[in-house]
Amino acid sequence: MSRKAEDPSDEQSLPSEPKHRFVPLSLFASPSPPQPAHDWDAVLRCHNCGGHFTIRKLPLKRIALVPQIAPCPYCAARASAPAKKLHRIVDLRLAKD
């Protein structure tokens, strides 16, 4: 008899947990549970003077409105709908608490 057959400690131990298989999410799957609402800081560049300014603590649904309504703190310029001039969003990041 060989030693391998007698000694069970030489046998490879089987993993106790099964391997998890990667399953990609479907584009048509039900939406994930809602995430807590985050506030954002937006850095804008003025269309008139080119100055950068920050608008803090914005909810995500209001970010698109900010370039249309926020006045520049340097030159007081506002968006001009007829001239199609808006402030530009330069940077967008999560607000720090």
Band the pLDDT of 91: cuts 50, 70, 90: very high
* Model confidence pLDDT, tens digit, residues 7-20: 555 555 555 666 77
Contact 90, 43 (CB under 8 A): yes
Look at residue 21 in the predicted model and tell me its pLDDT: 78
In the block, tokens 């089987």 appear at: 14
Contact 56, 92 (CB under 8 A): no
* Model confidence pLDDT, tens digit, residues 39-78: 999 999 999 999 999 999 999 889 989 999 999 999 999 9
24, HSE (Cβ side, Cα atoms, 13 Å): 3
Look at residue 42 in the predicted model and tell me its pLDDT: 94
